[in-house]
């Protein structure tokens, strides 16, 4: 991703945080991560992340999703015998989020599976989150999520986050952003 595109997505993410009436510092605004998952399809797949705190015990972040933007299917595996994987609670702050986890699939999902990577979406138990609603995802559970047609802001509260160890169903995905100057 080019640095100019990252700045454009950061600016847009700030507009969504403002719509959700969330307050952030100038330093936090500059640190918003734009994760295109290495696919170069940021409007379709990826997300924007503002990390407040990530330490050895817990993590707090805001996830910004543009309209119909999808965070692809993945899981947070065990790190060792004491760490069984990241447990995360998603709380919708603004917009609508379609969350999919392991379990009985719904007949017709509300999200739009990205056509270009369709074969890498395998779980379709649907949870719809509206502002003020939340759901906790157990460790090592396959999941993916997508914003509704207006976009969304989701607060994530979790155990310590190690994004670099996430396992994605799509082998082409790289969670760590690469920014070209």
CB 1 within 8 A of CB 177: yes
Note the pLDDT of residue 181.
72
Note the pLDDT of residue 180.
79
What Å distances lie between residue 33 and 14, 131, 138, 156, 175, CA to CA?
A: 12, 23, 24, 15, 11
For residues 54 and 87, what is the distance between their CA atoms, to the nearest angstrom?
13
Tell me the per-residue pLDDT of 41-80, one tens digit each, with 9 for 90 and over. Answer: 999 999 999 999 999 999 999 999 999 999 999 999 998 8
Helix (H, G, I), strand (E, B) or coil at 88: strand
Note the pLDDT of residue 169.
96
For residues 122 and 64, what is the distance between their CA atoms, to the nearest angstrom?
23
What is the secondary structure of 92-153 as a DSSP string?
EEEEEEEEEESSSPPSS-SS---GGGGGG----EEEEE-TT-EEEEPTT--EEEEEEEEEEE
For residues 94 and 73, what is the distance between their CA atoms, to the nearest angstrom?
22
Question: Is CATH 2.60.120.10 what the domain over 3-168 is classified as, yes or no?
Answer: yes
How far out from the chain centre does Cα 4 lie?
22
Residuewise pLDDT in 10s, the chain (181 residues)? 899 999 999 999 999 999 999 999 999 999 999 999 999 999 999 999 999 999 999 999 999 999 999 999 999 999 888 888 999 999 999 999 999 999 999 999 999 999 888 999 999 999 999 999 999 999 999 999 999 999 999 999 999 999 889 999 999 998 877 777 7
Whole-model pTM? Answer: 0.94
């Amino acid at each position: 991703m080019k640095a100019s595109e990252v700045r454009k997505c950061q600016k847009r993410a700030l507009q969504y945080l403002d719509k959700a009436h969330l307050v952030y510092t100038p330093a936090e605004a500059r640190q918003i991560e734009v994760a295109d998952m290495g696919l170069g399809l940021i409007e379709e797949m990826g997300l924007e992340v503002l990390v407040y705190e990530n330490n050895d015990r817990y993590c707090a972040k805001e996830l910004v999703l543009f309209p119909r933007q999808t965070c692809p299917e993945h899981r947070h595996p065990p790190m060792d015998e004491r760490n069984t994987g990241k447990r995360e609670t998603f709380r919708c702050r603004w917009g609508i989020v379609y969350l999919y986890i392991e379990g009985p699939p719904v007949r017709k999902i509300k999200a739009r599976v990205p056509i270009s990577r369709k074969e890498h979406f395998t779980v379709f138990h649907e949870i719809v989150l509206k502002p003020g609603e939340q759901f906790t995802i157990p460790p090592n559970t396959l999941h993916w999520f997508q914003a509704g047609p207006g976009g969304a802001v989701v607060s994530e509260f979790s155990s310590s986050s190690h994004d670099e160890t996430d396992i994605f169903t799509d082998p082409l995905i790289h969670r760590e952003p690469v920014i070209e100057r």
